[in-house]
């Protein structure tokens, strides 16, 4: 089951991707990411990782997100680990658009108990979260101007 959301951002794809390629910016726009512990020097190269915390203290979980694919200014594909829920594949596509960029985010559970959650429940949980993440991404991109 894939969950898909999209948002137009009034900025060139290169500007949008500059924020995506800044691993230290993830807690600014990814809903749920609360603390960046480290970012591999090679991020966003394939195989590199973001080391982050999810949740609020004292219930924070330390996890990693791995880059599966990267095409600058076009695509960033990630595998997010969220123990104990499992892992999800997140694909972020940035396409040129008359207004600047169209950003399409697709997420699907790949491993663990999250795969057993019915599709309608995944939609109800992930669509609002991912819409908010893209709204925050747009704000960061536009603020950096």
What is the per-residue pLDDT across 22-64, written as a single tens digit (0 to 9) for each? Answer: 999 999 999 988 899 999 999 999 999 999 988 777 878 888 9
The number of folded domains in the chain is 1
What is the per-residue pLDDT across 30-41, written as a single tens digit (0 to 9) for each? Answer: 998 889 999 999
Q: What is the CATH number of the domain that holds 66?
A: 3.30.530.20
What is the rounded distance in angstroms from the CA atom of residue 12 to the CA atom of residue 28? 20
What is the rounded distance in angstroms from the CA atom of residue 56 to the CA atom of residue 97? 37
Nearest one of 116, 137, 115 to 26, comparing CA atoms: 137
Count of CB atoms situated within 10 Å of the CB of 10: 12
Domain of 79, in residue numbers: 3-144
pLDDT at 11 over 80: yes
Q: What is the pTM of this model?
A: 0.93
Please state the length of the chain. Answer: 145
What is the rounded distance in angstroms from the CA atom of residue 83 to the CA atom of residue 127? 21
């Amino acid at each position: 089951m894939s969950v898909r959301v999209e948002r137009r951002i009034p900025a060139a794809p290169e500007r949008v991707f500059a924020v995506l390629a800044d691993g230290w910016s993830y807690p600014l726009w990814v809903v749920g990411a609360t603390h960046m512990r480290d970012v591999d020097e090679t991020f966003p190269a394939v195989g590199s990782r973001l080391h982050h915390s999810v949740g609020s203290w004292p219930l924070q979980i330390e996890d990693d997100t791995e880059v599966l694919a990267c095409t600058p200014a076009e695509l960033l594909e990630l595998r997010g680990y969220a123990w104990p829920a499992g892992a999800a594949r997140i694909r972020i596509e940035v396409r040129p658009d008359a207004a600047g960029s169209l950003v399409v985010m697709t997420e699907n559970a790949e491993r663990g108990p999250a795969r057993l959650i019915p599709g309608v429940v995944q939609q109800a949980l992930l669509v609002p979260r991912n819409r908010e993440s893209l709204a925050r991404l747009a704000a960061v991109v536009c603020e950096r101007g």
